[in-house]
């Protein structure tokens, strides 16, 4: 980038954090981020030059193979499209002949810190709710070429967050809203809300309305946590429905109809429950229900791994915001509570 060479005093050309833009600084769009010099390019995801390394990168969800774990992530390099195409799927191999990829490789060699900005379109629990957010400095490691999922070569880089920085905000959006199923669930719920509003307006004229919430709540007791043993309560549709935008979410939600009250009680702040034991009992009861659903899915040769993740992802949306956690961690918590209760019963 000739501009970096001619004007080394440009703020964005500096390595490291910039004055006035601490970790957590947010922008509504790339233009605002560029105006603060944290990541000057309006489109490119990498800012730097091959001679002395990259200054900044944007994690915006442009490649499906980007893997984000917060303090570490794997970044897919630049290129892979025709020279006159800036957006769209990868159509050709990436390589280290690309100067932006060379700049990241130089960063790995020199271990100079790189500014990292995350965008809201990134499918990650660490993504901001909207716009872009500066998440601090990272070092680059292990630059390499690998075969990507599309059968084309990609340049990959591992990033490691530098120590002694403010922690990353993690719970702006629950993980369940950052995977495919629940990103669609948001759309699904909005659609259903609109449909229910239309149904209420229509039924008020016919006198035949009956809310979905009433029919669900009438099937469970608010004081007794019991889960139905009816293994055939619901019939499965074809598993290919999982690819539909709304059918998959509908299937997951339907599996929880008989425990909606337990889920709603789980969503109450801790002060509204008698003690922590009450929340543990709720989670154990809901976990037993999930186990029964998975047992039924396994008997029908369904994708149990898919169902396990999506069922626990759904449960995680009912936790208080401060308690939001990865679905797999929530399942581990349930198993720990269940084991503890079994041990108590054995000692009695």
Q: Where are the alpha helices (DSSP H) in 123-266?
A: 180-206, 212-217, 247-254, 260-266
* The pLDDT of residue 247: 54
Cα atoms in the 13 Å half-sphere on the side-chain side of 284:
15
* The pLDDT of residue 66: 59
Domains of the chain (ranges; CATH) run: 2-173 (2.30.280.10), 176-347 (no CATH)
* The pLDDT of residue 50: 87
Q: For residues 324 and 267, is the Cβ–Cβ distance under 8 A?
A: no
Distance (Å, rounded) from C-alpha 346 to C-alpha 332? 21
Distance (Å, rounded) from C-alpha 75 to C-alpha 33? 20
Q: Which of 272, 268, 254, 260 is nearest to 214 (CA)?
A: 260
Residue stretches of the chain with pLDDT short of 70: 1-12, 62-66, 80-91, 170-250, 267-276, 320-327
Secondary structure of 209-239 in the HEC alphabet? CCCHHHHHHCCCCCCCCCCCCCCCCCCCCCH
C-alpha pair distances (Å), 228 with each of 221, 236, 256, 338: 12, 17, 11, 18
Q: For residues 127 and 100, is the Cβ–Cβ distance under 8 A?
A: no
* The pLDDT of residue 84: 56
Place of tokens 């002395």: 52
C-alpha pair distances (Å), 172 with each of 39, 169, 177, 264, 321: 23, 7, 10, 20, 8
Q: Where are the alpha helices (DSSP H) in the chain?
A: 2-6, 30-35, 99-110, 180-206, 212-217, 247-254, 260-266, 276-299, 304-316, 327-347
* The pLDDT of residue 137: 96
Contacts of 297 (CB under 8 A, 6+ apart): 236, 303, 304, 307
Cβ of 348: how many Cβ atoms within 10 Å?
4
* The pLDDT of residue 202: 53
């Amino acid at each position: 980038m000739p501009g970096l060479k001619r004007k080394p005093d440009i703020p964005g050309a500096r390595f490291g954090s910039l004055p006035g833009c601490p970790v957590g600084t947010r922008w509504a769009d790339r233009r605002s981020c560029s105006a603060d010099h944290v990541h000057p390019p309006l489109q490119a995801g990498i800012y730097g030059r091959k001679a002395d390394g990259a200054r900044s990168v944007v994690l915006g969800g442009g490649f499906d193979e980007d893997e984000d774990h917060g303090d570490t992530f794997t970044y897919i390099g630049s290129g892979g499209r025709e020279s006159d195409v800036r957006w769209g799927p990868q159509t050709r191999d990436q390589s280290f002949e690309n100067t932006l990829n060379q700049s990241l490789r130089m960063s790995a060699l020199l271990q100079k810190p790189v500014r990292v900005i995350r965008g809201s379109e990134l499918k990650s629990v660490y993504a901001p709710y909207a716009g872009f957010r500066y998440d601090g400095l990272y070092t680059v490691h292990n630059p390499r070429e690998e075969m990507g999922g599309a059968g084309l070569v990609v340049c990959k880089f591992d990033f490691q967050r530098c120590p002694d920085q403010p922690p990353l905000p993690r719970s702006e959006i629950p993980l369940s809203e950052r995977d495919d199923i629940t990103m669609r669930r948001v759309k699904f719920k909005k659609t259903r809300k609109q449909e229910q509003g239309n149904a209420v307006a229509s039924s008020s004229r016919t006198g035949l309305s009956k809310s979905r919430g009433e029919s669900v709540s009438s099937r469970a007791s608010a004081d007794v946590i019991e889960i139905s043993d009816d293994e055939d309560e619901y019939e499965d549709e074809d598993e290919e429905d999982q690819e539909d935008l709304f059918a998959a979410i509908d299937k997951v939600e339907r599996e929880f109809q008989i425990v909606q009250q337990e889920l709603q009680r789980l969503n109450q702040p801790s002060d509204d429950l008698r003690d922590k034991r009450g929340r543990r009992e709720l989670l154990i009861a809901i976990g037993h229900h999930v186990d029964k659903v998975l047992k039924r899915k396994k008997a029908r040769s369904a994708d149990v791994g898919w169902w396990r993740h999506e069922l626990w992802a759904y449960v995680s949306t009912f936790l208080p915001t401060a308690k939001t956690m990865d679905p797999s961690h929530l399942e581990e918590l349930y198993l720990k509570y269940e084991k503890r209760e079994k041990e108590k019963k054995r000692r009695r």
